[in-house]
Amino acid sequence: MTDVSFPIDDRNQVKRLSKRAHYGRATLYPILDAAMLCHIAYVIDGQPFCTPTAFWREDDTLYWHGSSASRMLRNTGDGVPVCLTVTHMDGLVMARSGFNHSINYRSVMAFGSAQRIDDPAHKRRAMDAFVERFFPGRNALLREPTVQEVKGTAILAMEIEQASAKVRAAPPGDDEDDFALPVWAGVIPLRTVVGARQDCPRLPAGVTPMADVTRYETGRVVDEVFLQTHRLNDGG
């Protein structure tokens, strides 16, 4: 294990197929930064919930947002434990036995406590950072948020206490005796790509998109755009 950035214990240790496990920022962060969507697990009265939401990372802190009214935010804003997971599905791995079928993927589970950001100035900075993280240059083009909008938005922050990544990126791992079988085996790759932009039906004549939008060029793999925009914000 060459790179361990966070303590490993029972909570974040990968139990199954530990050869696929990683614990270092150098592996964890590009997986997080190539995504906009995460799933967050939290508990209310013993009942687990798994909520999808948009998130972003700054250093060792993960941020996500939503209306102040949402169940998740009412219940995860006061230092309660959460697990934030990001998964990229990269391919279907077709083997010679059912047992050896698999998926190529990159995933991160990050553990910590969600804290609500209540200070309006801090919250406003985070709202701007959210837009800018995915669409660098866009804040300058938008109207200012209203006081009511800042009030109606809840932003949560979680410092990563522990995390682990699991990655599979390989051809089928068949049993030695199976390789000769006369059945096709290999990988069916998957990728999430940008489609053709759709103008708002009420777009005024003559308004054209700037780099914040055109960077999401038709056909580009969106993971790569998300990684690029993260790095633009990170000074990279």
Q: Which stretch binds a copy of itself (CB under 8 A): 1-9, 25-33, 36-44, 115-123?
A: 36-44
How many residues bind to a copy of itself according to rule CB under 8 A?
Answer: 97
The Cα angle at residue 174 between residues 172 and 180, in degrees rounded to 5: 105
Beta-bridged to residue 50, according to DSSP, are 41
> How far is the C-alpha of 186 from the C-alpha of 27, rounded, in Å?
25
Q: Which of 141, 159, 169, 231 binds a copy of itself (CB under 8 A)?
A: 141
Residues 153-192 that bind a copy of itself (CB under 8 A): 153, 171-172, 174, 178-192
Q: Tell me which long-range contacts 10-19 makes (C-beta under 8 A, separation of at least 24).
A: 11/111, 11/162, 12/109, 12/111, 12/162, 12/163, 12/164, 13/164, 14/164, 14/166, 17/166, 17/168
Which of 83, 158, 160, 165 contacts a copy of itself by CB under 8 A? 83
Point out which residues pair with 181 in neighbouring strands. Answer: none
30 sits near a copy of itself (criterion: CB under 8 A) = no
Beta carbons of 94 and 188 less than 8 angstroms apart: yes
* Shortest spacing between CB 1 and a copy of itself, in angstroms: 19
Work out how close the CB of 190 gets to a copy of itself at its nearest, in angstroms, rounded to a whole number: 6
The interface region with a copy of itself, picked from 1-9, 21-29, 203-211, 227-235 by CB under 8 A, is 203-211
Residue 151 binds a copy of itself, judged by CB under 8 A: no
The residue type at 114: A
Q: Binding to a copy of itself by residue 134, rule CB under 8 A? A: yes
